[in-house]
Structure 1
Amino acid sequence: MQQPFDLIIIGGGSAAFAAAIRANDLQLHTLMVNGGLPLGGTCVNVGCVPSKFLIRAAESVRHTMHSSFEGVQAKGAEVDFKQIIQQKKALVADMQGRKYLDLLADLQYVTVLEGNAAFVDKDTISVNGETYKALKIAIATGATTAIPPIKGLSDIPYLTNDTLFNLEKHPDALLIVGGGYIGLEIAQLYNRLGTKITVIEAMDCVLPSESRDVTDELTKHLIAEGVEIRTATTLSRVWQEGRAIKAELASNGQRLTIQVTHVVIATGRKANTERLNLEQVGVKTGRGGHVLVNEYLETNVPSIYAIGDVNNLPQFVYTAAYEGTTAVSNAFQGINHKVDYNVLPWVIFTDPQVAGVGLDEHQAQEKGIPHEATTLPLTEVPYSIAALDTRGFIKLIRNPETDHLLGARIVAPGGSELTMELSLAIKYGIKVKELASTLHPYLTLAEGVKLAAMSFTKDIKKMSCCAG
């Protein structure tokens, strides 16, 4: 048995580092055990950073090939795919160094150990044949792609976001299995870089958790760019013939075989809990192996917490970091801060982006909250009209009895930038009429929030510019 610690953190990603920094501030002797991805976890290594870099690279290619302005001739771009990936790798290494590895030198109370941890009892783990004890333990092992049981899949070199972004040879044709946010972001960016894309989704629409006006709008624009989307479709089996991969698709009783160069699995996430020996201590898990926690981030076992993508709460890097700090404060300072994600802004980085905060109409209906919605197409937003890009809409949902904003859904280029105003309006009870009466700069996308708020009571099409 090694010398006891105050805190053991199992994991080395955003949640783990946030917890370690907070623990160091409190002068808690802390052991961080990392046995999965390199330090920094999903976001910097295989998630947010590389994907958004590639999305921006693909966007720049798109802009050189398409112009809505009659006086601008889009003549295309010379694309060196290998160089794009190499620059991505350099960026990831730099971000990992500056935002994670370089921080360790200042964390004098934190010890980092590489290896896979497993519980021995509720306050003891084993790593590399040694045991370590602590007053509190935080599970922060993250999540990874859930691989479905598809016939032949294990016999081909299939890809996930963990491996796709390191492929230096330009893929000719991708079959993307899964129409969630990861699958759609990948589909559009590789399509823009010249790859033939087929997306299949088992449900009858992509982004099946969202309302159909949102999914239909995004689907329309992805198809217009050349992305092939097949909904109500599953992958029955795959096999390799030479360098090609054959895939048999099933839809409405029909079978279709297509040929691609790569298969990408994007069918959801599962928690990295298999090696933790959670049954030894009785920690409860739910769907996908995600650790169940309460509003204080505690598991059902006293002294054990779960933070970040490994738990059953929303999976975002910003929530993971928030949970890391919160869990340590709750565990050692008795703050009892409750995690509340009722006003959580989120973004899907397609183009147009899909963004949201709060409730949509269906969620309000399920909760029995009086509600009404208004949808403002970007064809009525001066900024979008001037930019000759009116793809999408801004939808607001309010309680008509109180005029309080309940939520918003946005499909718009750059629409993510609107979410914070709307988040604050919900959080602080700013009424919709106040959003409508507050001055917003003309020819900004933010003005669309004002116009959408006004559209609950006025016909925007019959108003002059800047009218209040």
Structure 2
Amino acid sequence: MSQRFDAVVVGAGQAGPSLAARLGEAGRKVAVIERHLVGGTCVNTGCIPTKAMVASAYVAHMARRASDYGVENGGDIKVEVERVWQRTRGISERSRQNVEKWLAGMPNVTLIRGHAVFESPKTLRVGDTQIETDQVFLDVGGRAVVPDFPGADRVPYLTNVGMMDLREMPRHLVIVGGSYIGLEFGQMFRRFGAEVSIVERSERLLPREDPEVSAAVVDILQREGITLHLGAECIELDGKAGDVAVLARCDQPRKEVRGTHILMATGRRPNTDSLGLQKAGVATDKHGYILVDDQCRTNVEGIWAMGDCNGKGAFTHTSYNDYEIVAANLLDNEPRRISDRINAYALFIDPPLARVGLTEHEALRDGHKVLVGVRPMARVGRAIERGETQGFMKVIVDGDTNKLLGAAILGISGDEAIHSLLDVMYAKAPYRTVTHAVHIHPTIAELLPTTLQSLSVPSG
């Protein structure tokens, strides 16, 4: 059987459905091909369910601290993992169902279930159906990758997907990998009541952040009783279900961390290895990411790649922005570009770490005349009132242009407050735009003008 469409979107993650809607509204006949669950990683195993679990963990944490606020809770706090799982799944499933209903109601758009494989640049196959089209938009996402550690073929472990289905409380969760996924799950399950150890091969957590940011995150996690093993080299796995171990063989003395469950949080890879890209002539890099230009176009005319699979950002917000860039260029005659995007992301531990633009190290590396302003969250009235004063604000300014280069906020509501700086950076306005603004009291963002008024040349 053969079908023809004006455009085919492969993958129903954050970019695909939105683009399909725009194309369908423009009168084009569109197919959206999805081999598994619509909504992609964010809806099913990423942002939405994990942040729902983070919310449960936060409630447990604050319940234990109730007496600090003059509130007696009447006894020990018990986390029922099954109920946490049910709440999380309910939120995720409702989100997925909303995307499915949205797709079903789109004019000129057909959802096809199955795995798409290229037969040529303008031909794909889904099962017994051959699909011909003039334009292909790839939004195939990524998945967890596990290094070929000795023992990984015989020792049971979980990835972020398996953690979403865990309906029992680990007695001791051992996490391999001290980046965003590992740290979020680590703090979450520690607050649920599990013992948690994190094994990281780098000498410090979050090595891409400035050292004081990494050190402050370490302090937050250790205060909650999480054990960190840094600089762990030559990792191997050992044991059996319920009694597992992570070993760092090259360390002196050799590290051995035993637990009941292992979470492998060691990175992700794009879902491009089974698309038949070679038959379409689409180029990838050595890691499998599809090479694209500044407008998400591949090296083959008529084929675009959006989201995690193009290596230009591994976040929901960058995936959605890829859709916006493609739609703007194709349908709106607006030449938007990936390079216009300012780097921005958050680590959703509690308190969260929000980051925009350059770190101090990156700004110095790039030759800027760097000025830095830092203020502790303990100076923020709102943080003091809420009894959550961990962390600090840090801003980085170019002393020649007076433009904001970057910022980090590690502290309560920092993931929201930082957008006031991000908007100023997009406007290319001088930092004094913020210092002259009158912010609402009492809020977290009200300390940003003060922080920018304290600029100095960094020491060292």
TM exceeding 0.5 = yes
Gapped runs of 5+ residues in structure 2?
none
Per-residue deviation, 1:332: 5.5
* 1-structure distance, mates of 2:179, 2:374: 23
Per-residue deviation, 1:451: 1.4
Of stretches 393-402 and 63-72 in structure 1, the one that deviates more from structure 2 is 63-72
Gapped runs of 5+ residues in structure 1?
458-468
2:63: which partner in 1?
64
Of stretches 48-57 and 106-115 in structure 1, the one that deviates more from structure 2 is 106-115
Are 2:27 and 1:27 aligned? yes
* 1-structure distance, mates of 2:234, 2:174: 10
Deviations for 1:271-326, whole angstroms, at most 9, x for unmatched residues?
Answer: 00110111222212125311111111001111110001111111111221221243
Contact (CA 8 Å) 1:354, 1:409: kept in 2 or not? yes
1:389: which partner in 2?
388
Are 2:82 and 1:82 aligned? yes
* 1-structure distance, mates of 2:66, 2:453: 32
* SS of residue matched to 1:451: helix
Per-residue deviation, 1:65: 0.7
Contact (CA 8 Å) 1:143, 1:271: kept in 2 or not? yes
State the superposition RMSD in angstroms: 2.0
Give the number of aligned pairs: 456
* 1-structure distance, mates of 2:252, 2:50: 35
1:298: which partner in 2?
297
Contact (CA 8 Å) 1:247, 1:259: kept in 2 or not? yes
Deviations for 1:184-204, whole angstroms, at most 9, x for unmatched residues?
Answer: 001000110011111111111
Contact (CA 8 Å) 1:64, 1:76: kept in 2 or not? no
* 2-structure distance, mates of 1:320, 1:336: 17
* 1-structure distance, mates of 2:324, 2:453: 39
* Identity level (%): 28
2:190: which partner in 1?
191
1:465: which partner in 2?
none
Of stretches 301-310 and 231-240 in structure 1, the one that deviates more from structure 2 is 231-240
* 2-structure distance, mates of 1:329, 1:3: 28
* 2-structure distance, mates of 1:274, 1:311: 13
Of stretches 224-233 and 122-131 in structure 1, the one that deviates more from structure 2 is 122-131
Of stretches 139-148 and 313-322 in structure 1, the one that deviates more from structure 2 is 313-322
* 2-structure distance, mates of 1:350, 1:341: 28
Per-residue deviation, 1:73: 4.4
Contact (CA 8 Å) 1:18, 1:322: kept in 2 or not? no
Contact (CA 8 Å) 1:355, 1:415: kept in 2 or not? yes
1:389–1:279 Cα change, 3 Å = same
Q: How does 1:264-343 map to 2 (within 5 A)?
A: 264-331=263-330, 335-343=334-342
* 1-structure distance, mates of 2:335, 2:424: 26
* SS of residue matched to 1:155: coil
1:453: which partner in 2?
452
1:249: which partner in 2?
248
Deviations for 1:327-350, whole angstroms, at most 9, x for unmatched residues?
Answer: 244345654422235424311100
Contact (CA 8 Å) 1:68, 1:388: kept in 2 or not? no
Deviations for 1:164-216, whole angstroms, at most 9, x for unmatched residues?
Answer: 11111112111111111111001000110011111111111111211111111
Per-residue deviation, 1:456: 1.9
Deviations for 1:96-131, whole angstroms, at most 9, x for unmatched residues?
Answer: 112x01112321311111111111111111111322
Name the amino acid aligned to 1:156. Answer: V
* 2-structure distance, mates of 1:55, 1:258: 25
